Structure formats: structure tokens, C-alpha cells
Amino acid sequence: MKSVRARVTNVIDHLSQPMSLSDFIPLVRNQVHSLYPDSKDYFLSPEDTIAIQALVDSKYACWDWNYGKSPQYNLANAIRGKGGTIELYLDVSNGIITNLRIFGDFFSGRDIRELERAFSGVAHSEECVRNTLIDMDFGSYLGDVALEELVQAMF
């Protein structure tokens, strides 16, 4: 099934005055009950909670659901560290990195194209990106940048 693109907004931007989530929930509940007088609140049973967790574990927490069924997309991000600015440009298709370009004013001891090529065909998941960076000795290409900072910049 093809997704339908829709505009997304934050509710807080439409409120006449800011309010906390704990104040907002009763307002929504009261509005629903006023529009649908026969409606009743439903509270999850322990069985519901177990069934929901089973569905999360079997379907929604897996890589294929979160990344594998994703449409093609591009990501651009930059980080500024002790060693300089690093700009990252990723092309991702079906959850797989198809192209990575790295630019910046950092000092590299190696040909940055080697690191870029190492990401071709790597799953766009934090674990796979982290492992590839470690395997490629990323510091020898990008200088003084923290691993986790670099991983987060690729998402």
C-alpha cells in the first residue's frame, strides 16, 4: 500500500495558551465525550498490555518495519567537532545506504573516498553504521570526532 503524504503539525502551535500534557488529555477526553455521548473510556487490561508488547516485539521493533519498507530518501547533516566540520550526505533506498558523500574542513590522514565506499550496501541502522565506522577506523579519516556523535549525525 502506498503511503499518502500529509501535512503534520504540532498541537501546541494551535493552542491559545500553552498547557501541559496532563492538562491537555482531559480536554481532549471531554471533547470526545461531548461529541459522542455514548463513548466510554477504555483502560488496557494486563492481557492487552501483553498482546501489545508481543506485537511490538514481533513486528514494530524490527529493522524491516522501521527501515526496510522505507521509501528512498536523502539525508544531509553536519557536525562541528574539535577536528573541524563534517558534512554528511546519504542516499538510502529500502533501508540500505546506496551512497555516502563526506565533506568538511577536517584533516584526514587517508582518502575519504575509501570510507564513503565502505558504506555502500550497509543497512541504515545505528548498529550497522556504528560497526562500519569502527571497522574502518573512522578517526584516521575524520580526525578527532566522537563515534556516537558521528553515528547520530547519520540519522
pLDDT along the chain (155 residues), means of 10: 66 88 93 95 96 93 72 92 92 94 92 97 96 96 94 96
Full DSSP string of 125-137 = SHHHHHHHHHHTT
Helical segments of 13-111, H only: 21-35, 46-55, 63
CATH ID of 73-153, from 3.40.50.300, 3.30.70.360, 3.30.465.10, 3.30.390.50: 3.30.390.50
pTM of the full structure: 0.61
3-state secondary structure of 3: coil
The sheet carrying 84-93 orders its strands as 73-81, 84-93, 96-104
Amino acid at 147: L
Cell of 83: 577536528
Residue 1 has a pLDDT of 46
- The confidence score (pLDDT) of residue 81 equals 83
CA distance 137 to 124: 19
